[in-house]
Amino acid sequence: MTRKTGFGAAPGEATAGLGPRGWLTLITLCMAQFMIALDFSIVTVALPAIDRGLGFGDAADLQWVMTAFILPTAGFLLLFGRVSDLVGRRPLFILGLVVVTAFSLVAGLATAPWVLIAARAGQGVGSAMVGATALALLTASFPEGPRRDKALGVSGALLSLGFVVGTIAGGVITSGLSWRWTMLILVIMGVVVLAGAVALLDKDEERGRARLDVPGALLATTGLLALVYGISTVGEYGWGSLPALVPLIAAVVLLAGFLVVEGRQEAPLAPLSILRRPTVKWGGLTGFITFGMCGGTTVLLSLYMQEVLHWSPLATGVGFIVEGVAAMISGSLAARFISGLGSPAVLLTGLLVQGLGTAAMLLLPQDGDLVLLLVTSAALGFGHVLAVVSFIGTMTSGVPSEHTGLASGLAQTAQQVGSAVGVAVLAAVVAASTAPFAASPEAAALDGLRSGLLVAAAVTLAGVLVAVLFLRGARSDPAGTTAGGPRSGDEVAAS
């Protein structure tokens, strides 16, 4: 399929209708991804209340409420992405919804810290199943072109909005009801999405016949788990500490071993021909960057509102509404932009807007500037969703149907690991740059936050350079060709 290169070429394509069943299917899949994003962020504001309710007693132990969810969510995505290609995406998606819903109920009724942490780990495993399959089901349900671009636009906007809504909802629910409802609300959502999945998703789907690559699965999963665990300990122990260095070194060794093993397997977990595709390789890197720097910057903005401006947690959550609205607008326009310019160009534009918005945050003053805060956060949300939609479209475009689950798992892995790395790196920069002898605590906090924002802006703009150098001519179509014509396997590998 050939993509149009100008806005005036085919105006009807960008607004191609999805149809009633298409919209219901899209809503079901988007609600699933929204639920996973909500699950991640809704407890952040509720952590103090959870501590009081269950008596964790130690900040390091309390942090496991978040870490226990993040570890399996990021660590199992690649594995479940490949498993879905073999056993079917629909059954694994439904199983994941059942697991998330069941463990959300356990979490909401938990009476001891260990029960809540175990339930959060169970939610993470189910979330990895849902995350790896929801995107694959979406790309399989909507053919490559304007309909898929529109679907990805809605999905990307709701995914980003889930993080924002989670922050707001966590404050409202914890203040008005109980922290337990931050978990129980996921049970209600899970039942609704499960009903939609059973009724709407196509039961007749193509499945792979190859066996699961067990050595590759073990190396990839343990490597990713070690990587995310090492990163999650950085905030507590620092980059040079043994608790952080040992798992990070282990992650490098395990993931390097994974690449070696994959080159020798007849039916690898992740064929090197897929990993070497420029759209997968460089598209994944840009996705890693946009999620890492947006997630980290959002945390820095939250600290700015609370530690510098002294806003309440609820007011801080409300302060992100404009970012959420900008994300929704961006998602609604993404399909038209991609139809006219192509995914790589829109990816470049999204990263540029996100990077410039982050750079402008360096001007935020100690006494506050509401207009500047809202404008820069809106630019962050708008640019980020453009980048998310186009990076997913870039990574999944032209991938053979038997590998769409793998490509979706790789895209989700880039998102999850990128978010964990971004928050850890920017937090470390802020900690190292906070001036101990500043005129006031607010001035000290602002100095550190500005250093973190500077790094976030620089890394995001470096992502623009990656898109310019490696993705500008890499648009793939279903036949495996690019904008410049067909490419052989050797040519792709050489890229």
Task: Give me the percent of the chain exceeding a pLDDT of 70.
Answer: 83
**Side-chain half-sphere CA neighbours of 126 within 13 A:** 27
According to the model, what pLDDT value does residue 293 have?
A: 93
Q: Is 420 helix (H, G, I), strand (E, B) or coil?
A: helix
Query: pLDDT digits over 321-334, tens only?
Result: 888 788 888 877 88
Question: What number of other Cβ atoms are within 10 A of residue 211's Cβ?
Answer: 10
Which amino acid is present at 138? L
Asked if residues 421 and 316 have their Cβ atoms less than 8 Å apart, the reply is no
Residue with tokens 């980020």: 384
**Cα Rg of the chain (Å, integer):** 22
Q: What is the pLDDT of residue 362?
A: 96
Angle at CA 108, nearest 5°, toward 103 and 112?
95
pLDDT tens digits for range 265-321 = 877 877 888 888 888 889 999 999 998 899 889 878 888 987 899 887 677 777 888
User: What pLDDT is recorded for position 419?
Assistant: 79
Cβ atoms < 10 Å from Cβ of 169: 20
Task: Report whether 88 contacts 205 (CB < 8 A).
Answer: yes
Give mean pLDDT, residues 204-214.
66
Using 50, 70 and 90 to split pLDDT, how confident is the model at 493?
Answer: very low
pLDDT tens readout for residues 13-42: 444 455 677 788 888 888 888 888 777 777
β 481-482/485-486 pair status: antiparallel
- pLDDT, tens digit, 9 for 90 and up, residues 37-76: 777 777 766 777 788 888 877 666 777 887 788 888 878 8
What six digits make up the tokens of 353? 């807007």
84-122: pLDDT as tens digits? 877 888 899 999 999 999 999 999 999 999 999 999 999
- Helix-strand-coil percent breakdown of the chain, rounded to 5? 80, 0, 20
Beta carbons within 10 angstroms of residue 404's beta carbon: 22
**Would you state the structure tokens that stand for residue 125, as one six-digit string?**
């495993």
Cβ atoms within 10 Å, residue 58: 10
Query: What average pLDDT does the segment 164-191 reach?
Result: 79
Confidence tier at 384 by pLDDT (50, 70, 90): very high
Q: pLDDT class for 209, splitting at 50, 70, 90?
A: low
Structure tokens at 280: 């997968």
Instruction: Give the mean model confidence (pLDDT) for residues 201-217.
Output: 71
- Which positions ≥6 away from 466 have C-beta within 8 Å? 282, 285, 286, 289
What is the C-alpha to C-alpha distance for residues 433 and 442, in angstroms, rounded to an integer? 14
3-class SS at 228?
A: helix
Number of C-beta neighbours around residue 495 at 10 A:
15
- In this structure, are residues 410 and 169 in contact, taking their beta carbons and an 8 Å threshold? no
Q: Work out the angle between the directed axes of helices 19-41 and 146-176 (0-180°, nearest 10).
A: 40
pLDDT at 483 over 50: no
Q: State the Cα–Cα distance between residues 131 and 124, nearest whole angstrom.
A: 10
- Taking residues 445-466, what's their average pLDDT? 94
**What is the tens place of the pLDDT at every residue in 343-373?**
888 999 999 999 999 999 999 999 989 999 9
- What is the C-alpha separation between 45 and 371, in angstroms, rounded? 25
What secondary structure letter does DSSP report for 476?
B
3-state secondary structure of 426: helix
94 CB-near residues (< 8 Å, 6+ apart): 194, 197, 198, 201
